[in-house]
Amino acid sequence: MTNKLRALLAAGTIAGTSLITGFAQAADTIKVGVLHSLSGTMAISETTLKDAMMMMIEDQNAKGGLLGKKLEAVVVDPASNWPLFAEKARELISKDKVDVVFGCWTSVSRKSVLPVFEELNSLLFYPVQYEGEESSRNVFYTGAAPNQQAIPAVDYLMSEEGGEAKRWVLLGTDYVYPRTTNKILRAYLKAKGVAEADIMENYTPFGHSDWQTIVSDVKKFASAGKKTAVVSTINGDANVPFYKELANQGVKAEDIPVVAFSVGEEELAGLDTGPLVGHLAAWNYFMSVDTPENDAFIAQWKAFIKDDKRVTNDPMEAHYIGFKMWAQAVEQAGTTDVDAVRQAMYGQEVKNLTGGVAVMNTNHHLSKPVMVGEIQPDGQLETVWETEGVVKGDAWSDYIPESAKLTADWTYPWVCGNCEKPKFAVMAE
């Protein structure tokens, strides 16, 4: 009887102390929210980003954490369900009280969480290339805006080196990112003197798997006597059957080059790329770029994921840059307070994995280099062209008349994401 009582007491004490230490730990950590789909259609892309975040948080903790505190990752699974993204974001911010969130992939998921972040004044780092036309006070966009990906890629294809394309096919999945990007591209091509008849636009549903008609249409369109190039904003799962059909119908890159904005190393991993050599992708990062920083990053990734075959890609670099910038800003501000960190973010610099330095601008977009790469037989992309120096991300496209007027600048005197004139009058000198 006494033995039992003693055991019970001991158990109680242990439970009590562990509870207390648990609390103590909770107070002493900085919480980082990770909001990426781990199930559903987008899991294919987003799981990798979750793992990349875990790797960087672990790495930061090994270096002693931030402000003398350990970082703690809070991972939730919004399951590729857009409204659930908003719910999970709210849960992260109000219930788990995270200091910052890294997450989202599709534009529709970002649009879904945007009101939550603005209402609760928290910070989101968004790592994927997107259609632009947005600048929120609560979001830092570490992926490419259209002028950091689409426009330079088209410039390359128009150049002598890229084959002087005169006719254009714009293929996309039917949702906001491809539609907006193609709207910008169409305006840009027209400004460059391309006739309406020389542009073909086509949209397909998510997960489209039968590309026979479209690929033969492209071949037909290309046989009009002018050099033709295809710009693909096809997203996600539909890419594999699309590229398989291209290969099977013998569309060679020398004849009709296809440049893609959503196809990276990860997407190519499920494909036999032999017949696709020479087709292009435009990004701000390629795994094949040979720099010491990139080598170290790849080695660290392979060690972390314990799989030698895994690849790195552009959105991973975007998270890498975003996370480092946030960590630097927290160190500088001496706090994780959202408003203080936001101020400290402007002008923050981090070395790119591909060389050069990325800078955070006051429109919440990065300045980054742009590269065009060719698909190789081993599934890698190799740079064939890159911009000299960095390109500043432009939230509002200069090629759409109604958005050309708008400015995004979150510092005085503008303090606005979509204004035609500054919010505050500049004081007379």
Partner 1 sequence: MVFRMLSVLLLMGGFLIPTVAFAAGSFEDALANLNSRKFKDKQQAITRIAESGDARALVTLEALLAGQLFTRKSDKKVLIGEKSHEVYRLTDPLTGQETGQAPSKELKKIRINNKLRGLLRGAIGGLTLLSPDPDKRLAAADAVFKARSADMVPVLEKALQREEESQIQERLARALAAIQASHNQDPAQKVIAIDQLSHYSEPDVRALLGNIAQNDESEIVRDAAQKALERVEQDLARWALLGNLFQGISLGSVLLLAAVGLAITFGVMGVINMAHGELVMLGAYTTFVVQDVIRSAAPELFEYSLFIAIPAAFIVAGSVGMLIERSVIRYLYGRPLETLLATWGLSLILQQFMRTLFGPTNQEVGTPDWMSGFVEITGGLVLTYNRIAIIVFSLFVVLLLALILRKTAFGLQMRAVTQNRPMAASMGIRTGVVDMMTFGLGAGIAGMAGVALSQIDNVSPNLGQTYIIDSFMVVVFGGVGNLWGTLVGAFSIGIVNKFLEPVSGAVLGKIIVLVAIILFIQKRPRGLFALKGRAVES
Site of interaction with partner 1 (CB under 8 A): 38-41, 43-44, 47-48, 161-163, 174, 202-205, 207-210, 212-214, 216-217, 219-220, 222-226, 237, 240-241, 244-245, 247-250, 253-255, 257, 266-267, 269-272, 275, 277-278, 374, 376-377, 382, 384-385
Return phi, psi of residue 302, to 5°.
-65, -35
Which residue number, 266 or 317, has a Cβ lying nearer to partner 1? 266
Alpha carbon 216 to its chain centroid, in Å, reads 32
CB of residue 93 vs partner 1: minimum separation in angstroms? 26
Enter the tokens of residue 274.
């032999």
CB of residue 72 vs partner 1: minimum separation in angstroms? 24
Which residue number, 49 or 66, has a Cβ lying nearer to partner 1? 49
Cis peptide before 205 (omega within 30 of 0): no
CB of residue 39 vs partner 1: minimum separation in angstroms? 6
Which residue number, 13 or 213, has a Cβ lying nearer to partner 1? 213
Alpha carbon 327 to its chain centroid, in Å, reads 19
Which residue number, 18 or 249, has a Cβ lying nearer to partner 1? 249
CB of residue 263 vs partner 1: minimum separation in angstroms? 12
CB of residue 159 vs partner 1: minimum separation in angstroms? 10
Which residue number, 107 or 228, has a Cβ lying nearer to partner 1? 228
CB of residue 60 vs partner 1: minimum separation in angstroms? 25
Give the residue from 249, 285, 299, 272 showing the smallest Cα distance to 373: 285
d(CA 357, CA 334): 24
The residues pairing with 147 across neighbouring beta strands, listed in sequence order, are none
Which residue number, 389 or 401, has a Cβ lying nearer to partner 1? 389
Q: For the residues of 285-354, what is the DSSP string, one character each?
A: --TT---HHHHHHHHHHHHHHT-TT----HHHHHHHHHHHHHHHHHHHHTS--HHHHHHHHTT-EEE-TT
Enter the tokens of residue 401.
């008349």
Buried b (16+ CB within 10 A) or exposed e, 223-260: eeeebbbbbbbbbbbbbebbbbbbbeeebebeebbbbb
CB of residue 135 vs partner 1: minimum separation in angstroms? 30
CB of residue 250 vs partner 1: minimum separation in angstroms? 6
Q: Please give the C-alpha separations between residue 321 and each of 318, 356, 360, in angstroms, as whole numbers.
A: 5, 12, 10
Which residue number, 91 or 237, has a Cβ lying nearer to partner 1? 237
Which residue number, 254 or 420, has a Cβ lying nearer to partner 1? 254
By residue count, the chain amounts to 429
